[in-house]
A and B are shown apart, each in its own frame.
Chain A
Amino acid sequence: MTRPADPGAVAAPSPPELRDLLADALALWEVEGRVRIEADGLRLGPALRVTPALPAEHPVRWWVERPGMQGKGQRRPCTSVLGLLRTLRNALGAETGEARRLRVARPEG
Chain B
Amino acid sequence: MIPVTVVTGFLGAGKSTLLRRVLRDPVWADSAVIVNEFGEVPLDHDLIAVSEERFVSASTGCLCCLARDDLARTLLDLARQRASGEVPAYARVLVETSGLADPAPILHALMQDAALGATHALAGVVTLVDAAQGEAALARHPEARRQVMLADRILVTKPDLAAPPEAAIRALNPTAPLRAAVQGAAEPGWLLAPAPPPGQLPDLLAALQADAVARHTPGLGAIAIEREAPLPALALTLWLQGLAEHAGPRLLRLKGLVALAECPERPAVLHAIQHLVHPLDWLEAWPGGERRSRIVLIGERIPRHFPARLLAAVEAEVAGEAARR
Interface presence of A80 (CB below 8 A): yes
Neighbouring A residues of B301 by C-beta, 8 Å: 28
Q: Please report the C-alpha to C-alpha distance between residue A17 and residue B241 in the assembled complex, in whole angstroms.
A: 20
Q: List 8 A-B contacts (CB under 8 A).
A: A11-B320, A11-B321, A17-B312, A28-B246, A82-B241, A98-B244, A101-B241, A102-B241
Q: Please report the C-alpha to C-alpha distance between residue A91 and residue B275 in the assembled complex, in whole angstroms.
A: 23
The A-B contact count (CB < 8 A) is 113
Q: Please report the C-alpha to C-alpha distance between residue A82 and residue B313 in the assembled complex, in whole angstroms.
A: 9
Please choose the segment from A19-27, A38-46, A63-71 that sits at the chain B interface, where 4 or more of its residues have CB less than 8 A away: A19-27
Distance (Å) between the CB of A56 and the closest chain B CB? 13
Distance (Å) between the CB of B133 and the closest chain A CB? 16
Contacts from A to B (Cβ < 8 Å): 6-13, 17-18, 20-21, 24-25, 27-29, 58, 61, 80-82, 85-86, 89, 97-107
Q: Please report the C-alpha to C-alpha distance between residue A20 and residue B268 in the assembled complex, in whole angstroms.
A: 29
Distance (Å) between the CB of B29 and the closest chain A CB? 26
The answer on a CB contact under 8 Å between A105 and B233 is yes
The answer on a CB contact under 8 Å between A97 and B317 is no
The answer on a CB contact under 8 Å between A18 and B248 is no
The answer on a CB contact under 8 Å between B242 and A81 is yes
Chain B residue at smallest Cβ distance from A82? B242
Neighbouring B residues of A82 by C-beta, 8 Å: 238, 241-242, 245, 314
Distance (Å) between the CB of B280 and the closest chain A CB? 6
Chain B residue at smallest Cβ distance from A81? B313
The answer on a CB contact under 8 Å between A98 and B245 is yes
The answer on a CB contact under 8 Å between A81 and B310 is yes
Chain A residue at smallest Cβ distance from B238? A82
Q: Please report the C-alpha to C-alpha distance between residue A106 and residue B321 in the assembled complex, in whole angstroms.
A: 20
